[in-house]
Amino acid sequence: MKLKRMLALPALAVMPAVADDTVRLNLREGVTEISQRVYDLHMTIFYICCVIGVIVFGTMFWSMFRHRKSKGRTPAKFHESIRVEVLWTIIPFLILAGMAYPATTTLIHMENTDDADVTVQVTASQWKWHYKYFDHDVEYYSLLATPDQQIHNKLPKGENYLLEVDRPLVVPTGKKIRFLITSDDVIHSWWVPDFAVKKDANPGFINEAWTIVDKPGIYRGQCAELCGNNHGFMPVVVIAKEPAEYEKWITNMEVKQRKAREREQELLSMEMSKDELMKMGEKVYNGICAACHQPNGQGVQGVFPALAGSPVTTGKDSITKHIDTVVHGVKGTAMQAFGTQLSMQELAAVITYERNAWGNDTGDLVQAADVNKVMNP
C-alpha cells in the first residue's frame, strides 16, 4: 500500500489539486466560509502561476530545442524593444491588480472581529494552551496527550500522533467565536488549518481572530511559531458541537469546575499519604515538568537546571523556597508560575515527588495546606 502511494506521487505532483485521503498534498478547504475563500484565492493564484509558467518555460524550452548552435543556427542581432518591454511590465501589473481585489476584500472580512457571540481567551505558554471562556466561569489548560513512549518509539504511534490533547477547546457551530490570543512567555502561534486562523500569541499584547464553524467535528492544528524546546509538541484541538450540545457541555463544565474549587478548600484540612502523593506527583511531573527538567530529573545542562540533588529540592530548610519556586516561578527564566495551572493538591504532590524521587529521598511530605500557606499568606 505504502509503495503504491509512493509510486502515485509523481503523478499527483503534476496535479496538486487532486485531493487524496491518505496523502494530502494541497491546502485544506476547511469548514468555514473564510477557509473556503482562502482556498479559492490559493487555487486562483496557483493557476495564474501555472499559466505564466507554461508560457515562460514553454518559450524557453522552444528556444532550447530550436535555437541551438548544434543545429547550425546563427544568432539574431536584436537586443532591445521598448514595445515588448512596456508590454511585459504592464500585463503582469494588471494581472496582479486583478488578484489584489479579491485578496483585499477577503482580508478585510477576516480582520473584522465585531459582533461575536462567544469570546474565548487563548493564552499560550511553553508548551500548552490555556482557554478561558468569557461568558462562563470556565477555564482550563490543554496539553499534548501523546505519550512519551510513542515519541521515543517504544510504543506504536497512534492515528493522531502529536495532534491530540488532554482537554480540547469546545466551541458551538454556527456562532461567531472571537479568540483573544496572548502569551505568558515567548511568542507562539495558534493555528487551526480548517478554520484558516493563524494568529501569533505575543507576550504582553492581545491579538484578535474569529471564526464561524459550519460543521460539527474535531479539528486539529499546531503551534506555528518556534517557541523553544517542545515547539513541535504543542497541538491545538478544537471540537465544534451543535449549539444545544455546546450549552449542555459548558453548563456542565461550569458546575464541575465550581465543585472542584469547593472541594479543594475542603481538602486543605486533609492529609494525603506518601504513596498517594508520590503517585499523583509522578503523573503531574511527567505531564508538565519533565518537558524541561527531563523524566530523570537531570534537566539539560546550561538550559534547564537538574532537580536531582539540587539544593532547592533536597536542602534541609528549602521546602518553602521549593514551594515558592513552583507556585510563583522564577522571573526572567523559563520557569513558569504553576500556582495558577495546578490544584493545590497537585502542587503538593509534585513537590513531594521532586523531593523524594531520583535518589533525593528527603522523606519530606508536602500537603495542600503547606502550599496554601505560601499561596495565600
Partner 1 sequence: MSTTVDTLHHEEHHDHKPSGITRWLFTTNHKDIGTLYLWFSFLMFLIGGSMAMVIRAELFQPGLQLVEPHFFNQMTTVHGLVMIFGAVMPAFTGLANWLVPMMIGAPDMALPRMNNWSFWILPFAFIILLSSLFMEGGGPAMGWTFYAPLSTTYSNDSTALFVFSVHIMGISSIMGAINVIVTIMNLRAPGMTYMKMPMFVWTWFITAFLLIAVMPVLAGAVTMVLTDKYFGTSFFDASGGGDPVMFQHIFWFFGHPEVYIMILPSFGIISAIIPTFTRKKLFGYSSMVYATASIAILSFLVWAHHMFTTGMPVVAELFFMYCTMLIAVPTGVKIFNWVATMWRGAMSFETPMLFALAFVILFTIGGFSGLMLAITPVDFQYHDTYFVVAHFHYVLVTGAIFSVMAAVYYWLPKWTGHMYDETLAKFHFWASVISVNVLFFPMHFVGLAGMPRRIPDYSVQFADINQIVSIGGFAFGLSQLIFLWVVIKCARGGEKAAAKPWEGAEGLEWTIPSPAPYHTFEKPPKIEG
Is 316 among the residues that bind partner 1 (CB under 8 A)?
no
- C-alpha 93/C-alpha 11 separation (Å) is 33
Q: In this structure, what C-alpha cell is assigned to residue 364? A: 519530606
10 Å Cβ neighbour count for 294? Answer: 16
Residue 36 or 362: the one with the smaller Cβ distance to partner 1 is 36
Q: What SS3 class is residue 215?
A: coil
Residues numbered 221 to 260 that lie near partner 1 (CB under 8 A) are 221-233
Residue 77 or 316: the one with the smaller Cβ distance to partner 1 is 77
Residue 223 or 347: the one with the smaller Cβ distance to partner 1 is 223
Judged by CB under 8 A, the residue of 18, 33, 54, 68 near partner 1 is 68
Is 63 among the residues that bind partner 1 (CB under 8 A)?
yes
Judged by CB under 8 A, the residue of 78, 114, 266, 377 near partner 1 is 78
What's the per-residue H, E or C state across 326-355? HHHCCCCCCCCCHHHCCCHHHHHHHHHHHH
Pattern of binders to partner 1 over 275-314, x per CB under 8 A? -------------------------xxxx-----------
The span of 180-188, 258-266, 309-317, 348-356 binding partner 1 (CB under 8 A) equals 180-188
Q: What SS3 class is residue 88?
A: helix
Burial class (CB in 10 A: 0-12, 13-18, 19+), 194: buried
Residues numbered 187 to 206 that lie near partner 1 (CB under 8 A) are 187, 189, 191, 193, 196-200, 202-205
**Residue 133: strand pairing partners:** 120, 138
Is 321 among the residues that bind partner 1 (CB under 8 A)?
no
Min dist CB 66 to partner 1, Å, is 9
Residue 6 or 255: the one with the smaller Cβ distance to partner 1 is 6
Residues 71/252, Cβ–Cβ less than 8 Å: no
- C-alpha 308/C-alpha 173 separation (Å) is 48
Min dist CB 144 to partner 1, Å, is 11
Residues 155/149, Cβ–Cβ less than 8 Å: yes
Min dist CB 177 to partner 1, Å, is 17
* Alpha-carbon torsion (287, 289, 291, 294), positive or negative: negative
In eight-state DSSP terms, residue 270 is: P
Give the interface size with partner 1 as a residue count (CB under 8 A).
105
Residue 201 or 323: the one with the smaller Cβ distance to partner 1 is 201
Residue 73 or 258: the one with the smaller Cβ distance to partner 1 is 73
Min dist CB 55 to partner 1, Å, is 9
Helical packing angle, 344-356 and 243-267, nearest 10°: 60
The pairs formed by 298-307 with CB atoms below 8 angstroms and a separation of 24 or more are 298/358, 303/229, 304/334, 307/354, 307/358, 307/360
Residue 136 or 176: the one with the smaller Cβ distance to partner 1 is 176
Residues numbered 30 to 49 that lie near partner 1 (CB under 8 A) are 37-38, 41-42, 45-46, 49
Pattern of binders to partner 1 over 103-142, x per CB under 8 A? xx-xxx-xx--------------x----------------
Is 144 among the residues that bind partner 1 (CB under 8 A)?
no
